Amino acid sequence: MFRFFLLLQLGLLLIGLVWMELAGYSALQNPNPLRDTLAFFLLFFGLMGLERLFSWLFPQSFRAAEALHGQLGAVMRAQGVNHHQALLLAVVSGVGEEVFFRGALQNALWGGWLGVLLQAVVFTALHPVPDRKAWSYPLFIFVGGLLFGASYLLTGSLIPGILAHYLHNARGFYQLLEQEKAV
């Protein structure tokens, strides 16, 4: 499973990089460390706030999504995935998904706000949930995709999204691996 997801994310990264290069899309239009740092913090803490909001608004669905994540964590632990591998997967998924969905796909889908909306729809479709009780998870993914897309549109930089996506995934993977110790 680990190798499959790692290869999938590396594939998204490669496709996204080639697509961006061939189409002339920019990963970083006008470097601005202050702007990008602020955008990163807004994204990362926005995602954390969104999680809290969803747990409050949709408690049953949120618990069902957490149960699915718990199953994923059990599979990861059973397959011997360690913290270093989880960190690697978080890095590759953060970079790969931002390059593919925001850098390549968003630009290809007419750019602008329509591109933000359409890439978020595709981003959501490629994060399927097998349990209908966890219906709020796709909604969370969609809103997250909108936030990442808006960040790229407004800053012209993939850096804030990559960093926020990476840290969000790393935090989640670490929590999944630590669940075994808490049980």
> pLDDT, tens digit, for every residue of 131-161?
999 999 999 999 999 999 999 999 999 999 9
In angstroms, the CA 168 to CA 94 distance is 9
> pLDDT, tens digit, for every residue of 48-76?
999 999 999 999 999 999 999 999 999 99
- The proportion of the chain whose per-residue pLDDT surpasses 90, expressed as a percent, equals 90
Mean predicted confidence (pLDDT) in 22-46: 94
The closest alpha carbon to 116, from 129, 101, 94, belongs to: 101
Identify the residue with better confidence: 179 or 117.
117
Q: How confident is the model at residue 110 (pLDDT cuts 50, 70, 90)?
A: confident
At residue 31, the pLDDT reads 86
Tokens representing 96 are 């790969």
